[in-house]
Amino acid sequence: MRAVVFEGTRAVSVREVPDPELERPTDVVVRVTSSAVCGTDLHMYDGRIGAEPGLVLGHEPVGVVERAGDAVTAVSVGDRVVLPTHLYCGVCGNCARRLTAACTRVRPGAFGAAYGYAGMGPYRGAQAELLRVPFADANCVPLPGEPGDAYEDAFVLLADAFVTGWHATELAGVRPGDSVAVFGAGTVGLLAAHSALLRGAAEVYVVDRVAERLAVAEGYGAVPVDFTEGDPGDLIRAHRKERGLPPGEESMDGVQRGIDAVGFQADSRRHPGHEDPRQVIHDLARLVNPTGGIGVAGVFAARDEDPARNGHGDGSLRVPWATLFDKGISVGFGRTHDRRYTALLRDMILAGRAEPQRVVTHHGTLDQASSLYGEFDHRTGGVVKAVLRP
C-alpha cells in the first residue's frame, strides 16, 4: 500500500510500504477513505519530538472495515467507522473508568497509545491506504452513510480534533454562561470554541495571528483577537468592559475559563518569529479570573529535540505557579479520552447541531501530502485543516 512517511525534519514522502496484516484475532484492517493532518503531526514534521525516519504518519482516520479477525464481533466487513486517535483496549481499569487515553494494555510498561505518533507505541499511522486497528470491537466507532457523503469531513474530525476541542472545554470546566478565551485558532482551538458555544458559554474569544483562522472563529460566533495588535489579555478585558460588566463584577473583567490549544511550539509575542513555550500559560494565568479554570490541550513534549530559549529539552518549564495559586485557578491537562465523546459528538453532527467540518479548508491525495504539510507548517495557502483522501 501507499503511505505518507516521515523522512526527516520538514520532509515527508509517499512510499510503498507492506500492507498491514491481521496480527491478532481481535484486529481489523480498515480501508482509509479520509485521513486528516494535525498540528501534532507538525511537532514531528518540525523534528521536535523524536520521530524516527520511516514512521508512517497520521492518526485521524475514517474508513471502511476491509478485513476482520475471527474474534471481532461488534463490526463487520463493509462497516463505515471512525478510529479514535488514542487507541485503547476497552476493558482495562482505566478504560473501564472511561480514561481511554491512559489505557494500560496498549503500550505495555506505559499508558496510552496513538497511531503514527513518535513515542506512543508501535502502531503505524493512518495517512495511508490501509490501517491495522487493534482491539477493534472497542476502537471502531460506527458511522452511518457512505464514504464520501456530505458527512465525510465532519466524521474525520471525530477521530481527534473535535473530541480534543470538546475535552479542552471539560478540562477548563466550561459551564453555561461562562466567558471563555481560547488561545490558538488551529483546528483544535476552533473546535474548542465551537464546543464552548454548544455548551452554552456566553462569550468566547479566540486568540491567534492568522487572519483566515480567526475568520473561521468569527463564523462560529466567537470574538476574534489578533495578538499582533496588542496584549490579548488587555484586548479581551477592554472588549468585556465595553460590552458592560454586571454591577459589582468590575474586578472580574478577565474570563472565567481559558484554553491552551497551542502547545509548546507557541509563538513568542515579544520576539516575533521565535517560539516561547511559556507564552500561553503566562497569558492565561493573567487573564483568567480568580476561581476560574484552564484546560491545556496543546501538546507539551516530554522530549524536545530543539528547545526554544525559554524551553527545556525535557519539557520542564517555569510557569506562574503563584499567580495560579493566589487566584485559585484549576488547571487540567492532557490527551483526550476520545471514546467518551466520539459517539455524543457524532450524534450532534447527525442532528445538525455541530458543524466541525467548517474548519476543513483543503483536500488532497496522498501525493499532495508533502506540499500540504509545507503550507500547513508555514501557515500559508490558507490551510487550516487538510484532509487526505487516499
Nearer to ligand NAD, 262 or 349 (CB): 262
Q: Which stretch in 95-103, 143-151, 297-305, 318-326 sits in contact with Zn ion by CB under 5 A?
A: 95-103
CA distance 383 to 35: 15
What is the closest distance, in whole angstroms, from the C-beta atom of residue 265 to ligand NAD in the complex?
A: 7
Among Zn ion, ligand NAD, none, partner that 44 touches (CB below 5 to 8 angstroms by kind): none
List of residues 6+ apart from 311 with CB closer than 8 A: 264, 275, 276, 277, 304, 317
Of 102, 128, 105, nearest to 115 by C-alpha is 128
d(CA 276, CA 363): 31
Considering only residues 5, 72, 89, 261, which one is a binding residue for Zn ion as defined by CB under 5 A?
89
88 binds Zn ion (CB under 5 A): yes
Span of 33-41, 276-284, 305-313, 338-346 interacting with Zn ion by CB under 5 A:
33-41
Binding site for ligand NAD (CB under 6 A): 38-40, 42-43, 160, 164, 183-189, 207-210, 213, 227, 261-263, 266-267, 279-280, 297-299, 335-336
Q: With CB under 5 A as the contact rule, which of the stretches 31-39, 228-236, 301-309, 382-390 interacts with Zn ion?
A: 31-39
By a kind-dependent CB cut-off of 5 to 8 A, residue 95 interacts, out of ligand NAD, Zn ion, none, with: Zn ion
Q: How far is the CB of 297 from ligand NAD (least distance, A)?
A: 4
The smaller minimum CB distance to Zn ion, of residues 160 and 283, is found at 160
Cβ neighbour number for residue 192 with a 10 Å cutoff:
35
Grid coordinates representing 308 are 526554544
Least separation in angstroms between residue 43's CB and ligand NAD is 6
Cβ distance to ligand NAD smaller for residue 29 or 56: 56
Considering only 92, 245, 317, 350, the residue that binds Zn ion (CB under 5 A) is: 92
CB of 135 to Zn ion, least distance (A): 8
Size of the site for Zn ion (CB under 5 A): 9
* DSSP string computed for 69-123: -TT--S--TT-EEE--SS---SSSHHHHTT-GGG-SSSSTTS----TT-TTS-SP
Q: Which is nearer to Zn ion, 39 or 254 (CB)?
A: 39
Minimum distance, C-beta of residue 57 to ligand NAD, in the bound complex (Å): 13
Pick the binder of Zn ion from 27, 153, 160, 304 (CB under 5 A): 160
The site partner of 43 among Zn ion, ligand NAD, none (C-beta below 5 to 8 Å per kind) is ligand NAD
Rounded Cα–Cα distance for residues 44 and 88 (Å): 22
Q: Which is nearer to ligand NAD, 42 or 136 (CB)?
A: 42
**Rounded distance, CA 212 to CA 388, Å?**
20
Q: With H, G, I as helix, E, B as strand and everything else as coil, classify residue 369.
A: helix
Which cell is 75 given?
Answer: 463490526
CB of 99 to ligand NAD, least distance (A): 13
Helix axes 187-198, 211-219, angle to 10 degrees: 20
Interacting span for Zn ion (CB under 5 A) from 4-12, 30-38, 66-74, 326-334:
30-38
Q: Which is nearer to ligand NAD, 67 or 361 (CB)?
A: 361
The verdict on 252 binding Zn ion (CB under 5 A) reads no
> Which residue is associated with the grid cell 482495562?
92
Q: Is the dihedral of CA 310, 315, 316, 317 positive or negative?
A: positive
Which positions ≥6 away from 93 have C-beta within 8 Å?
104
DSSP per-residue string spanning 180-243 = EEEE--SHHHHHHHHHHHHTT-SEEEEEES-HHHHHHHHHTTPEEEEGGGS-HHHHHHHHHHHH
360 DSSP 8-state letter: E
121 binds Zn ion (CB under 5 A): no
CB of 101 to ligand NAD, least distance (A): 7
Interface ranges with Zn ion (CB under 5 A): 38, 40, 88-89, 92, 95, 103, 105, 160
